[in-house]
Amino acid sequence: MLETNDGFRYISYIGARWRLIAMSCAVAVCLAVGVSLIMTRQYTATARIVIEPPAGSDPRGAIGVSPIYLESLRTYEHFAASDSLFQKAADHFGLRRMLGQRPIESLKKQVLRVDTVRNTRILEISATLPDAAVAQALAHFVADATVALNTSMVSEGDRDLLKGAEQMDVDARSQVEEIDKTWTRLLSEEPLEDLQNALESSAHLREDLQQQAVASELEIADAGERAQRASGGDAAEIGRQRANAQARLEELHKRIDAADKQAALREKLLASRMAHRDNVAAERKEAQDALTAAEARLRAVRAEAGFRGERLSVVDPGVVPERPSSPNLPLNIGAALLLGLVLPLLYLILEMNFREQRVGERRGRLRAMERAFDE
């Protein structure tokens, strides 16, 4: 009940002083209108850039774009809001002559605003200036420069990638040519056909020598049998024949051993040359495969040049604004009316509390004095 009475007292106290509130609101509205009329009109022009995914990407990916990808597109805000780009725009349009000699950072903060529209691939570039035509031209200039900057970066990346692919192709081709030279020299300096023919001839020769050795052994055995049956001069003749056959057999064995040694050396040399040729052939095939892969890579890089990074294009260069963005007269009047209403209310509430507090203090002192007199 006490709180209700306090509320009625506040309302009654404020209602009795409604003229003060009305005067405050009127003064605030008049000040807002006057200041708004005095303030320089500012015009805001907006250019829009659409950010398309790389042309070589899967078109089905455009249906479900992840929030992470959309967040990554905010990178292009830094392209458009770079200090160097705004410096060029300020020099081109003479912003310091128009707005005064100010630091480039504060000038950019006042004039330029770059935002990515939420959950879209639209980049908005807004310029606010006293001259509507210059504002639109500035927004369009920054948008075109942003697109050009992105195109140059993508082109530079393509050039670097193409240069690397071309260098890989040149290196692979040089390696193939070097191994081809080694292969040609190997075929001429380490032939296999001569060794294979020599081994075949050695095999035939050994076979002939082996047959002659067998014949000599049979002749020796036959001479031994005849010597047992012969006598006198026939036995001596048979002994000479046997000795001759024995000498031939020993000579044949020596020739067979020499042929075996020579064949072993030739087989070892043939195995070494074949192993060397197999190694070079494996290296040659590996180099040719590397060259094929490098050529395929180079063709792919050339085919994909210009289609890797996001594509930026100006879809809306903006128009020359016809209505100023500031001062906003209705907004200023509303804010002034609110302040003109709130401030006197606060003042009256504080004044009422202060007066009641002083009255309470006076009553307390009077009661204390009365009790003192009664005593």
Residue 142: CB partners within 8 Å, gap ≥ 6?
Answer: 47, 80, 85, 86, 89, 112, 125, 127
125 three-state secondary structure: strand
User: What is the distance, to the nearest Å, from the Cα of residue 258 to the centroid of all Cα atoms in its chain?
Assistant: 71
Q: How many angstroms separate the CA atoms of 86 and 114, rounded?
A: 12
Q: How many angstroms separate the CA atoms of 112 and 133, rounded?
A: 15
Extract the tokens encoding 220: 């020796």
Verify cis geometry, omega within 30 degrees of 0, for the bond prior to 59.
no
Q: How many angstroms separate the CA atoms of 107 and 103, rounded?
A: 6
Check: CB of residue 309 under 8 Å from CB of residue 154: yes
H or E stretch at 338: helix 329-374
What residue spans define the domains of the chain?
187-304, 327-375
115 three-state secondary structure: strand
Strand order in the sheet with 122-129: 112-116, 122-129, 43-52, 311-316
Residue 107: CB partners within 8 Å, gap ≥ 6?
Answer: 86, 90, 95, 96, 99
Contacts by 260-268 with C-beta closer than 8 Å and gap 24+? 260/206, 262/202, 263/199, 263/202, 263/203, 263/206, 266/195, 266/198, 266/199, 266/202, 267/199
End-to-end CA distance of the chain: 36
Q: Is 228 left (phi over 0), alpha (psi -120 to 50) or beta?
A: alpha
pTM above 0.85, yes or no: no
Residue 53, CA distances (Å) to 58, 78, 135, 144, 310 in order? 9, 18, 29, 18, 5
Q: How many CB atoms lie within 10 A of CB 100?
A: 8
Residue 91 exposure: Cα atoms within 13 Å on the Cβ side: 5
User: What is the distance, to the nearest Å, from the Cα of residue 190 to the centroid of all Cα atoms in its chain?
Assistant: 51
Q: How many angstroms separate the CA atoms of 314 and 148, rounded?
A: 11
| Amino acid letter for position 261 | K
Q: How many angstroms separate the CA atoms of 104 and 245, rounded?
A: 117
pLDDT in tens, the chain (375 residues): 334 556 666 677 667 677 877 888 888 788 877 776 676 788 999 999 998 887 655 544 444 456 777 777 788 888 888 888 899 998 988 888 888 888 888 888 889 999 988 888 899 999 999 889 999 999 999 999 999 888 888 888 788 888 888 899 999 999 999 999 988 888 888 887 777 787 888 888 888 888 888 887 787 777 777 777 766 667 777 777 778 878 888 888 888 888 888 888 888 888 888 888 889 889 989 999 999 998 898 888 887 776 667 788 899 998 998 888 777 677 777 887 788 778 877 877 777 777 767 766 676 666 666 666 665
Q: DSSP state, 246?
A: H
Residue 124: CB partners within 8 Å, gap ≥ 6?
Answer: 46, 47, 48, 49, 114, 115, 116, 117
What pLDDT was estimated at residue 62? 47
Q: How many angstroms separate the CA atoms of 86 and 238, rounded?
A: 123
Looking up tokens 């009790």, which residue turns up? Answer: 371
What pLDDT was estimated at residue 63? 41
